[in-house]
Amino acid sequence: MKTVKHMDNEEEMIVTPWEVRGKIDYEKLIREFGTQPLTDELMKRVKKDLGEPLNPQLRRKLFFSHRDFDLILDRFEKGQKFVLYTGRGPSGPVHIGHLVPWIFTKYLQNKFKVPLYFQMTDDEKFVIEDSMELEETTRWAYDNALDLIALGFKPENTKIIFDVKDIALQYDIALKVAKRVTYSTARAVFGFQDSTNLGWIFWPAVQAVPCFIHAKLTGENVPVLIPAAIDQDPYWRITRDVAQKLGYHKPAQIHCRFVPGLGKGGKMSASEPETAIFTTDTAEDVKRKVWNAFTGGKPTVKEQRKTGGDPYICSVFQYFLYLFEEDDKKIAQLDRECRTGAVICGDCKAVLTERVNKFLKEHQKQREKAKANLQKYFLKS
């Protein structure tokens, strides 16, 4: 399944909702997907509306692209309503890359004070993963919901849509979307092939549903804003094409970059478990994985001290940037000290291990507590 594919030096860049590979050129993605960059001008407005300091993921431009985020800000400034929507394809444990758009969504929800719909796509993962049974993806859906709840979302303004459980609520909208998307469009956007199963071909219509579900549930026809990594964008292209024909607003998005894996290049992905940190990992797992992380460091400490490193190829530095160092001054200092060889890779790995483990200890405690509250997040069917 390929929506963007080209040679980028030697490395091929592939970004689809189901596969991300190669060296990612985000400027090129903006051009090829036809999204808008988060410009300095827009950021000025965001600062005014959301108040400073902005969340680190935003001010560091880890969220870097959007569709109609400016129109959402127009609504916010006029006191008009909108809602948030994001989701998860539950095929295994959640890793800390998945948490990036969710932590950001929580930040937006705190600022905007709007409801969130969160879609758990146990149906998607069943149709696309050859080796998975429906019972397994459904089980992961309830498990992964604990990670969302652990981040502090409240049941009063957060509803989790479990696709298989909640399909009766969604089916009419999915049908209306599906009828207006031709196979040739779907094939062009998603790269479907003769061997693609029928479930997968229909599936994108289901991911469109939460863009419009608030209107069905409450009678309020308002737009959604979707925070997610840019791999999910192809879904919104087809959804935006049909929204107005169905009498709804086009969904708006704000896109983030990919948290890299701990290996050399590539995004964090559950299919490479030794280079991904899962929210259920033990302190020992974290220590081992971070210790083995790719940093681009020199073969010897002596050499590293002499010539320094490059923080932008180092996966450990990226974790500080995305999640584990809030202070911009400290990021700048680390950048300098890495380049001059004042800090070496072992120092950074030790600090990162400690921070990740501190975060996970609390997160795992909250995950346990969430078990008693899960049903409060269910939609009434």
Cβ-based nearer residue to ligand TYM, 211 or 338:
211
Work out the number of other CB atoms within 10 angstroms of the CB of residue 245.
11
Is residue 89 close enough to count as binding ligand TYM by CB under 6 A? yes
Work out the number of other CB atoms within 10 angstroms of the CB of residue 196.
16
Alpha helices per DSSP H over the chain:
26-33, 40-50, 56-59, 69-78, 96-112, 122-128, 134-150, 167-179, 183-190, 198-208, 213-218, 233-243, 283-291, 301-307, 315-319, 328-340, 345-370
Minimum gap (Å) between residue 197 Cβ and ligand TYM: 16
Question: CA–CA separation, 330 vs 301, rounded Å?
Answer: 23
Minimum gap (Å) between residue 337 Cβ and ligand TYM: 26
Q: Out of 13, 114, 186, 268, which residue is the one contacting ligand TYM (CB under 6 A)?
A: 268
Minimum gap (Å) between residue 17 Cβ and ligand TYM: 6
Q: What share of the chain is helix, strand, coil (3-state, %, to 5)?
A: 55, 15, 30
Q: Could you tell me if 250 and 243 are in contact, meaning their C-beta atoms sit under 8 angstroms apart? A: yes
Q: Which stretch binds ligand TYM (CB under 6 A): 82-90, 280-288, 307-315, 335-343?
A: 82-90
Cβ-based nearer residue to ligand TYM, 176 or 267:
267
Cβ-based nearer residue to ligand TYM, 46 or 256:
256
Minimum gap (Å) between residue 169 Cβ and ligand TYM: 15
Q: Out of 3, 119, 304, 315, which residue is the one contacting ligand TYM (CB under 6 A)?
A: 119
Q: CA 372 from chain center: how many Å? A: 26
Question: CA–CA separation, 203 vs 1, rounded Å?
Answer: 14
3-state secondary structure of 295: coil
Is residue 207 close enough to count as binding ligand TYM by CB under 6 A? yes
Is residue 208 close enough to count as binding ligand TYM by CB under 6 A? no
Burial of 376 (0-12, 13-18, 19+ CB in 10 A): middle
Is residue 124 close enough to count as binding ligand TYM by CB under 6 A? yes
Is residue 304 close enough to count as binding ligand TYM by CB under 6 A? no
Q: Amino acid identity of 230?
A: I
Cβ-based nearer residue to ligand TYM, 161 or 334:
161
Is residue 234 close enough to count as binding ligand TYM by CB under 6 A? no
Is residue 86 close enough to count as binding ligand TYM by CB under 6 A? yes
Question: CA–CA separation, 118 vs 169, rounded Å?
Answer: 14
Q: Out of 33, 258, 278, 377, which residue is the one contacting ligand TYM (CB under 6 A)?
A: 258
Cβ-based nearer residue to ligand TYM, 20 or 343:
20
Cβ-based nearer residue to ligand TYM, 207 or 279:
207
Is residue 65 close enough to count as binding ligand TYM by CB under 6 A? no
Cα angle value 297/303/306 (rounded, 5°)? 105
> Token digits for 271?
């299919």
Q: Which stretch binds ligand TYM (CB under 6 A): 256-264, 288-296, 339-347, 360-368?
A: 256-264
| Structure-derived torsion over alpha carbons of residues 308, 314, 317, 319, reported in degrees to the nearest 10 | -170
Residues making contact with ligand TYM (CB under 6 A): 17, 85-89, 97-98, 100-101, 119, 121, 124, 207, 226, 228-229, 231-232, 256, 258-259, 267-268
